[in-house]
Amino acid sequence: MRSDARSNRLRILEAAAEVLAVPGDTSLKSIARRAGVGQGTLYRHFPTRESLVLHVYWEEVEELVNAVPALLKTLCPPLALRAWLERLLALGRYAPEFADAMSEATGMLTKQCRQPYQPLLDALSG
């Protein structure tokens, strides 16, 4: 992927995370505007609203899972768990958007819908 395309993709994901985190206009148009890209650029990277919401959610889950070792290295287990649970609760801010995205794409994304949860289950059991 070209560096400008990679940069656009990252800006879109960051803008989407910010827009989805607060109530209000969560349209793709508002996300593109906030990212400083045209709607065509947004659709080249994320052809559907569902795909964008899923990517934002997956990145958040990945950050949550990757935080476990660092938290355990810097905090005692009870405080590490508390910090991790606070991050998990913050992740819940995407739950309504994620649920809407899943109901729109039920048949085609069944495997992808389960994918974000597996790292969480692995982190909790490991």
**pLDDT digits 0-9 by tens, 84-108:** 998 887 777 666 666 665 555 444 4
In angstroms, the Cα distances linking 30 to 14, 25, 57, 81 are 13, 7, 18, 36
The count of other CB atoms within 10 Å of the CB of residue 125 is 6
Predicted local distance difference test score (pLDDT) of residue 120: 67
Predicted local distance difference test score (pLDDT) of residue 76: 95
Long-range contacts of residues 97-103, Cβ cutoff 8 Å, at least 24 apart: 97/20, 97/26, 97/53, 98/53, 98/54, 98/57, 100/53, 101/49, 101/50, 101/53, 101/54, 102/50
Predicted local distance difference test score (pLDDT) of residue 99: 60
For residue range 30-58, list pLDDT tens digits in order.
999 999 999 999 999 999 888 898 888 88
Per DSSP, the residues of 36-47 read T--HHHHHHH-S
CA distance 95 to 111: 18
Domain ranges of the chain: 1-47, 48-126
Higher-pLDDT residue of 60 and 79 is 79
For residue range 54-71, list pLDDT tens digits in order.
888 888 889 999 999 999
With a cut of 90, say whether residue 78 has pLDDT above it. yes
Pick the CATH number of 1-47 from 3.40.50, 3.30.300, 3.30.70, 1.10.10: 1.10.10
